[in-house]
Chains A and B, each alone.
Chain A
């Protein structure tokens, strides 16, 4: 069984500050991990994914995440927040061995960026 926990349902940063959104996962098999972003009234857009290659993954819009197996974490970071980063962020896991590929999502973190 798999699960995802996102620590902090709401994160507020100032424009230009570091963004850190936390995600911890639980998986009995090697996982694939994903971060999705959802802007208001829109669908889910893939930011980045980990698929057992490099542990530091770079995504779109300057975001990156590091897979740490020992900590079962996949935290999302961005060095400098921009006003346009304000959105809902979801961490998700799927089993690399899964033949269905279903995603299990975390509860989401709302990122607020203050001017």
Chain B
């Protein structure tokens, strides 16, 4: 059975303290891996799509990378507004996303 594990479950950072979130997956025949952020009470907000090992995408303070077994979301100099739950979702079908449980990030001033 396909599995997705995100670590850590929760992360507390000081503003400006860079870190990385991990997403390990065992999805066979990966067609893509998606990153979303979710704020409390809201729907997931799309961040990135990665399609092949070695690919990297950047957006503001976020950078996502992909290997054959895991993906990392690097957060550089985070701000309090980056506080959210970050979800990764690999897919082997191209449409049914296998969401992990997420990493809950809190950035304090």
A binds B: no
Binding site for A on B (CB under 8 A): none
